[in-house]
């Protein structure tokens, strides 16, 4: 982290890489180093961004799952952790993004995703087919933020609305309360089971702090520096034992919080809280 916070002055500010080899096709892309963003008194690292036009992806017929993804790559992911459900992972690649990058699901895609989630919640899927708690948190956080705060073009498609109206009455009886809270925190989106979200407080102090922060994040809002620091103090360091987060915090709530902050585009004060919290963890270990 210290090396990220102190970029070498010899690095160029702009690097253009004309082509990236993505499996079957070569697609034009650009890489940019941003050395101009300061967080408080520290510069929060080099930002490396790869710009890949979604229209170009569709043109070449490249599946989201063909990209090197830290969620499934053995280079990043511990072999002890189960792989995510591929159907929901592909949906996450489309909807767990920013207000202009999101690609709403078609009706067929949405029905397949919600059917997969329902069958997993009922225990009908086993091993790698199961939808993880983290996936549930991220996916439903994305759906909620899109409904509450995204522009019309990236809000729910008619197909997604149809799928929700068909599956939610069944899902609300099968999903745990933390997922229902994320999907409808104020009881204003789903209709059925609308009393659960407004009354949900979580289990334990860590969950309670996360729930309070999530109410703001899921509405498309932002948090103060101290609020983000408080959440991170409760959950860091990230350690998983027996496929569970050792801090005791809900994996579902935590994943919703992290993806929600990203989708809302963190403010400088939020990013500062992340940088310093992770920096403290590295220094402390």
Query: Do the beta carbons of residue 106 and residue 157 sit within 8 Å?
Result: yes
Two tokens at 27? Answer: 């697609």
Provide the pLDDT for residue 249.
83
Q: Average pLDDT over the chain, rounded to whole?
A: 78
Radius of gyration of the chain (CA): 19
Q: Which residue has the higher pLDDT, 3 or 234?
A: 234
Digit-coded pLDDT (tens) for 200-217: 999 887 789 999 999 999
Helix 204-218 × helix 133-149 angle, to 10° = 30
Angle at 264 between CA 120 and CA 231, to 5 degrees: 75
Two tokens at 221? Answer: 């809002």
Q: Which residue has the higher pLDDT, 284 or 79?
A: 79
Q: Please give the average per-residue pLDDT across 237-251, as a whole number.
A: 67
* pLDDT value at 56 more than 90: no
Q: How confident is residue 63, by pLDDT bands cut at 50, 70 and 90? A: low
Backbone dihedral angles phi then psi of residue 237, each to the nearest 5 degrees: -80, 155
Provide the pLDDT for residue 247.
62
Distance CA 164, CA 89 (A): 18
Chain centroid, CA 284 distance in Å: 27
How many CB atoms are located within 10 Å of the residue 75 CB? Answer: 6
- The beta-carbon contacts of 163-167 under 8 Å, at least 24 apart in sequence, are 163/105, 163/107, 163/110, 163/111, 163/113, 163/114, 164/110, 164/114, 164/190, 166/111, 166/114, 167/111, 167/114, 167/115, 167/117, 167/118
Q: Which residue has the higher pLDDT, 18 or 152?
A: 152
* pLDDT value at 245 more than 90: no
Provide the pLDDT for residue 278.
83
Sign of CA dihedral 200, 92, 101, 147: negative
Tell me the range of 6-15, 114-123, 246-255 where mean pLDDT is highest: 114-123
Exposed / middle / buried, residue 215 (Cβ in 10 Å: 0-12, 13-18, 19+): middle
Q: Find the range with the poorest average confidence among 14-18, 126-130, 173-177, 279-283.
A: 14-18
Distance CA 263, CA 277 (A): 20
Q: Find the range with the poorest average confidence among 75-79, 99-103, 135-139.
A: 75-79
Provide the pLDDT for residue 125.
94
CA-to-CA separations, 71 to 36, 63, 93, 160, in angstroms, rounded: 29, 15, 11, 24
Query: Do the beta carbons of residue 104 and residue 160 sit within 8 Å?
Result: yes
* pLDDT value at 26 more than 60: no
CA-to-CA separations, 9 to 13, 38, 46, in angstroms, rounded: 9, 15, 11
Provide the pLDDT for residue 62.
53
Digit-coded pLDDT (tens) for 96-117: 999 999 999 999 999 999 999 9
Query: Do the beta carbons of residue 102 and residue 264 sit within 8 Å?
Result: no
Q: Find the range with the poorest average confidence among 15-19, 51-55, 141-145.
A: 15-19
* pLDDT value at 77 more than 80: no
Q: Please give the average per-residue pLDDT across 157-162, as a whole number.
A: 97
Q: How confident is residue 279, by pLDDT bands cut at 50, 70 and 90? A: confident
Q: Give percent of the chain above pLDDT 70.
A: 66
């Amino acid at each position: 982290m210290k090396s990220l916070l102190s970029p070498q002055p010899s690095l160029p500010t702009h690097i253009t890489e004309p082509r990236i080899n993505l499996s079957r096709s070569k697609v034009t892309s650009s890489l940019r180093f941003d050395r101009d963003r300061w967080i408080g008194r520290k510069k929060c690292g080099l930002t490396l961004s790869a710009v890949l036009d979604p229209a170009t992806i569709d043109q070449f017929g490249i599946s989201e799952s063909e990209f090197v993804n830290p969620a499934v790559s053995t280079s990043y992911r511990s072999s002890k952790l189960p792989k995510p459900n591929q159907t929901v992972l592909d949906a996450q690649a489309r909807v767990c993004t920013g207000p202009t990058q999101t690609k709403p699901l078609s009706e067929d895609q949405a029905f397949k995703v919600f059917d997969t989630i329902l069958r997993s919640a009922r225990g009908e899927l086993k091993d790698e087919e199961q939808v993880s708690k983290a996936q549930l948190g991220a996916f439903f956080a994305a759906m909620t933020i899109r409904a509450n705060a995204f522009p019309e073009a990236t809000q729910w498609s008619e197909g997604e609305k149809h799928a929700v109206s068909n599956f939610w009455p069944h899902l609300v009886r099968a999903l745990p309360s933390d997922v229902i809270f994320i999907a409808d925190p104020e009881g204003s989106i789903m209709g059925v089971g609308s009393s659960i979200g407004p009354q949900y407080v979580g289990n334990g102090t860590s969950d309670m702090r996360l729930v309070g922060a999530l109410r703001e994040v899921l509405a498309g809002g932002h948090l103060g520096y101290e609020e983000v620091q408080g959440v991170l103090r409760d959950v860091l360091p990230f350690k998983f034992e027996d496929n569970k987060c050792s801090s005791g915090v809900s994996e579902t709530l935590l994943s919703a919080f992290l993806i929600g902050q990203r989708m809302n585009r963190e403010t400088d004060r939020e990013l500062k809280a992340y940088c310093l919290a992770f920096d403290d963890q590295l220094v402390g270990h």
